[in-house]
């Protein structure tokens, strides 16, 4: 009875059926009740944003030289601002990774780097590997290209080298493994020197490329993390970095460092994706950082997050120490990962936790497969030590109540 005109004319691509609303975003809606002590978010603390420096930089870019102002508002190169590309190369050199500025592609947040990598490296059905658990935003970037995503067994030190070897001994060679070695989102865990070497050795032996994501690496508390994987295997690692956690995420400024053979394809994908990352933002950030501003600013973020982590570890020990719950002890970053006592399911506990006045994120959505339903993620960076104390007490009440 329908004529063609009354039917929808739109037909979705097959990959669109693989896209789903973020489970986390749906969960976060539950936590947005006013007055809730919120440990569920993944946001950096807005108190760390250098508002005055940004204000001064905008004034310098727009208010001094009309040619500079106009250039910052015009179309720009897809590769990114030379000053930023040089800065990235200099920063990496300090960490033992010697790359050329020509290998740096400025992206619209490092999330865009993940999207470009997926486009350039993943076919439908391509095998690829991730840690267990892994960053949810990466799964969302990879999924639309319809790869077959496989989890490699991981422990509190990151991905397991023997498990990785086992995965590589059978089946086709994966396109890459996605790793987040420093203060991982969601677990807070870090790969130590020995683990990095073991994993790199297996990857080199089997010719398995690595996508190394490092948004949190600068947020260390007592000592710098070991050298990046990129420094250990320059031709086999694609590296992602970001200004979101050391300046501000609302600028959407990140970067990819690519081996020379991959760079042109990523650049072409970048051109097609958004022509270039906003030149105005690049120019303003170059102005902010040009005189070593980050050398003074980042330590203040480290100090703040360090105190907050200490408060949360102490509160967890005090409140949950005798419940059988376990948690990570991150040496940097923003997150602690908790595993509830046997028999409890984090997702089922969330409504009671919200009623008790606190919110966390259940861990299950962070697993590509074989989710552990007892896990949950806590962010310690947007709450005061006092709020952390109250929040962990509320969590403990719920855990004890559920355990009875």
Residues between 79 and 118 with contacts to its own copies, criterion CB under 8 A:
107-109, 111-112, 115
Complex with its own copies: residue 189 or 252, whichever CB lies closer: 252
From the list 106, 25, 13, the residue with the least C-alpha distance to 365 is 25
342 in contact with its own copies (CB under 8 A): no
Per-residue interface string for the shown chain with its own copies, residues 298-317, x marking contact by CB under 8 A: --------------------
Give the shortest CB-206-to-its own copies separation in angstroms. 7
Tell me which stretch binds its own copies (CB under 8 A): 92-100, 162-170, 264-272, 307-315: 264-272
Residues numbered 121 to 160 that lie near its own copies (CB under 8 A) are 121-123, 126, 137, 140-141, 143-145
383 in contact with its own copies (CB under 8 A): no
291 in contact with its own copies (CB under 8 A): no
259 in contact with its own copies (CB under 8 A): yes
Residues numbered 346 to 375 that lie near its own copies (CB under 8 A) are none
Q: Total binding residues for its own copies by CB under 8 A? A: 92
Kindly tell me which residue out of 217, 225, 249, 391 binds its own copies, with binding defined by CB under 8 A.
249
333 in contact with its own copies (CB under 8 A): no
Complex with its own copies: residue 46 or 401, whichever CB lies closer: 46
Residues numbered 166 to 195 that lie near its own copies (CB under 8 A) are 173, 175
Kindly tell me which residue out of 36, 37, 40, 54 binds its own copies, with binding defined by CB under 8 A.
54
228 in contact with its own copies (CB under 8 A): no
């Amino acid at each position: 009875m329908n004529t063609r005109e009354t039917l929808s004319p739109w037909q979705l691509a097959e990959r669109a059926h693989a896209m789903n609303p973020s489970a986390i975003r749906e969960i976060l809606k539950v936590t947005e009740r006013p007055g809730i002590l919120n440990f569920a978010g993944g946001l950096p603390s807005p108190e760390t944003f250098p508002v005055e420096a940004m204000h001064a930089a905008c004034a310098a870019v727009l208010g001094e030289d009309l040619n500079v102002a106009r250039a910052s508002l015009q179309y720009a190169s897809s590769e990114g601002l030379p000053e930023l590309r040089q800065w990235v190369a200099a920063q990496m050199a300090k960490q033992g990774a010697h790359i050329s500025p020509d290998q740096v592609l400025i992206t619209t947040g490092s999330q865009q780097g993940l999207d470009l990598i997926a486009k350039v490296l993943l076919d439908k059905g391509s095998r690829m590997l991730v840690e267990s658990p892994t960053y949810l935003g990466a799964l969302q970037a990879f999924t639309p290209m319809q790869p077959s995503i496989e989890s490699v067994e991981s422990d509190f030190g990151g991905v397991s080298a023997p498990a990785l070897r086992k995965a590589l001994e059978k089946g086709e060679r994966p396109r890459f493994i996605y790793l987040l070695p420093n203060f991982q989102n969601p677990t807070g865990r870090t790969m130590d020197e020995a683990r990095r070497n073991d994993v790199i050795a297996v990857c080199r032996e089997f010719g398995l490329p690595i996508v190394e994501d490092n948004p949190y690496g600068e947020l260390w508390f007592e000592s710098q993390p070991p050298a990046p994987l990129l420094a250990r295997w320059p031709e086999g690692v694609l590296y992602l970095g970001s200004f979101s956690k050391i300046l501000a995420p609302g600028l959407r400024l990140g970067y990819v460092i690519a081996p020379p053979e991959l760079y042109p394809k990523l650049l072409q994908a970048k051109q097609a994706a958004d022509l270039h990352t906003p030149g105005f933002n690049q120019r303003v950030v170059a102005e902010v950082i040009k005189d070593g501003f980050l050398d003074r600013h980042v330590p203040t973020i480290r100090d703040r997050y360090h105190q907050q982590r200490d408060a949360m570890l102490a509160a967890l020990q005090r409140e949950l120490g005798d419940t059988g719950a376990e948690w990570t002890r991150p040496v940097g970053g923003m997150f602690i990962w908790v595993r509830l006592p046997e028999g409890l399911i984090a997702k089922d506990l969330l409504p009671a936790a919200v009623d008790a006045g606190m919110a966390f994120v259940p861990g299950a959505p962070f697993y590509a497969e074989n989710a552990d339903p007892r896990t949950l993620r806590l962010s310690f960076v947007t709450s005061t030590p006092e709020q952390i104390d109250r929040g962990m007490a509320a969590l403990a009440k719920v855990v004890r109540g559920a355990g009875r």
